[in-house]
Structure 1
Amino acid sequence: MKATTNTNEQDILSKVPAVTLSFWIVKILATTLGETGGDALSMSMNFGYLVSTGIFAGIFLIAVLAQIAAKKFHPLLYWTTIIATTTVGTTLADFVDRSLGIGYAGGTAILICLLLASLVLWYRTLGSIAVHTVKSPKAEMFYWVTIMFSQTLGTALGDWTADTAGLGYTGGAIVFGTMLVAVAVAYYQTNISQTVLFWAAFILTRPLGAVVGDFLDKPIAKGGLNLSRYTASAILLVLILACIFIFPQKPAKKGH
């Protein structure tokens, strides 16, 4: 009876989803939506990077506060917050890289430092950065700040790979897709910490989504498909909702 009670408490307290195949599918779709949605506001609607970042940052803050205030895991709320981090990450990275003139390499370097600092501080403060330990407001704040840095880094890294490194959107997708496969193999075939591998995969899905999003909406002359950013964003949103409702998600438990 005691073990059952502990399990129920874990389900109630955990407000992030278990890491399953459907989690990764939705995560990649969400990061791709972040790219097309962010570009739709900053470029198609001509709000610019700074104003768009302010708008998405406001949405992100509201979503995070709602997520922290929630008493249990709500899939729609969680993924709304994830999408908010991807959109603000897209416009923020573009503002830093392009408007401030730091460049993709400089922006990537800064964001790597911020991401690592966030993870280290989180670990030193709470003793773990594992997903199943995200149960307190303090842990949630570290979780969402870390995710925002990872999403912003992913945009800069994806753009740097596709543009500066000259691999293009397809080449970038192959690179990051291959790296994700390598992480998956390491998960099943090695003794590397599952927490380390989770964050490695989580970070890599963002640049993958960035290059895929750019591939969908950039002009054909630049290697894209020249799809409408609004159409691409709408399709991605429908796919995300379909995945959430077709494959019900459960709260993360220890070992997931």
Structure 2
Amino acid sequence: MEYNNDAKNRNVQPPISDKLISNPSKFQQLFNKVPQITVFFWIIKIMATTVGETAADFLSFNLKWGLTNTTYLMSVLLVISLIIQFKAKKYVPWKYWLVVVLISIVGTLVTDNLVDHFGVALQTTTIFFTIALLVTFIAWYRSEKTLSIHSIYTKKREAFYWMAILFTFALGTAAGDLIAEGLHLGYLVSGFIFVGLIAVVIIGYYMFKLNAVWAFWIAYILTRPLGASFGDLLSQPHKHGGLGLGTTGTSIIFLVIILSLVVYLTRTKRDEIPTETITEE
């Protein structure tokens, strides 16, 4: 779903709405740190969630690194990518999407560690990450008075944003596994369930004026288990209900597509949010 000109009629703050200026006497340009919500955003995001699922399995099992070592390595890489992202002055496609791919992998590993290493039930992890995400949203809103991604132009808001993203991936992994494996519905049925739920959100947004900010975050959460379900469907062997493409092949295919789209967006700048120039007389 995309934000458009009628967003102001849906109780949504426009980009750079509160004109935060640290020194009112000086000229400033405020740059948003996240992309515009276009079809490319959702394509890359869903593919990143699939890579998060398949890459985590590939590193843990195929390369025999184990969940613990894989989690340590991916967490270090995520921290490095976040440092690069936070130092950027504006949205840069490769920096942003590198964080998304790595945070997808780490979010998957966090849930897998809780379930496989510590024996925490999928129902419990789903509830825990739901509460963690809600607490993050509450703290974010109380501090900044908005949850709009069109206003991610301070480090504090960016920190809230990435914390929320991490919890959406962990929650999506837990909820997807709960439905596909815990309820024994299988990957294909699970995937179609989440497709249906996303369709409900889209209908609510376009036909019943569902708040755009909440529509975005609900859809963002749901695309995680959607990507994971279809990732498992593609990679898992036939005896486990998959198509048998393997984690290696699935990961490579989706990474190549993600890289191609990121290169395209870097060149065309089609997903950049327009910058608002602010002056103080």
TM-score with structure 1 length normalisation?
Answer: 0.92
Alignment of 1:39-50 (within 5 A): 39-50=57-68
1:79 pairs with one of 94, 97, 107: 97
SS at match of 1:237: helix
Q: Distance in 1 between matches of 2:146 and 2:35?
A: 17
Structure 1 residue 227 displacement after superposition: 1.6
Identical residues among aligned pairs (%): 35
Alignment of 1:109-128 (within 5 A): 109-128=127-146
Alignment of 1:136-215 (within 5 A): 136-215=154-233
User: Residues 42 and 91 of structure 1 are in contact (CA less than 8 Å); yes or no, is this contact kept in structure 2?
Assistant: no
Structure 1 residue 48 displacement after superposition: 1.7
Structure 1 residue 203 displacement after superposition: 0.5
Report runs of 4+ in structure 1 exceeding 4 Å deviation: none
Please tell me whether Structure 1 or Structure 2 has the larger radius of gyration of its CA atoms: 2
SS at match of 2:245: coil
1:104 equivalent in structure 2? 122
Which one-letter code corresponds to 1:228 in the other structure? Answer: G
Structure 1 residue 103 displacement after superposition: 1.6
Q: Identify the range of structure 1 (241-250 vs 144-153) with the bigger mean alpha-carbon deviation.
A: 241-250
Which one-letter code corresponds to 1:21 in the other structure? Answer: V
Q: Distance in 1 between matches of 2:56 and 2:78?
A: 13
Which one-letter code corresponds to 2:201 in the other structure? Answer: V
Q: Distance in 2 between matches of 1:218 and 1:127?
A: 43
User: Residues 50 and 92 of structure 1 are in contact (CA less than 8 Å); yes or no, is this contact kept in structure 2?
Assistant: no
2:55 equivalent in structure 1? 37
TM-score with structure 2 length normalisation?
Answer: 0.84
1:14 pairs with one of 20, 26, 32: 32
Q: Distance in 1 between matches of 2:176 and 2:240?
A: 15
Query: Cα RMSD between the aligned structures?
Result: 1.8
User: Residues 47 and 254 of structure 2 are in contact (CA less than 8 Å); yes or no, is this contact kept in structure 1?
Assistant: yes
Which one-letter code corresponds to 1:250 in the other structure? Answer: D
SS at match of 2:229: helix
Query: CA offsets per residue over residues 178-209 of structure 1, 9 Å max, x none?
Result: 11111111111122210000000011010011
Q: Distance in 2 between matches of 1:163 and 1:243?
A: 32
Q: Distance in 1 between matches of 2:212 and 2:166?
A: 21
The answer to whether structure 1 residue 252 and structure 2 residue 273 are counterparts is yes
Structure 1 residue 253 displacement after superposition: 5.4
Structure 1 residue 53 displacement after superposition: 1.4
2:4 equivalent in structure 1? none
User: Residues 234 and 245 of structure 2 are in contact (CA less than 8 Å); yes or no, is this contact kept in structure 1?
Assistant: yes
Q: Distance in 1 between matches of 2:211 and 2:78?
A: 30
SS at match of 2:123: helix
Q: How many residues align?
A: 247
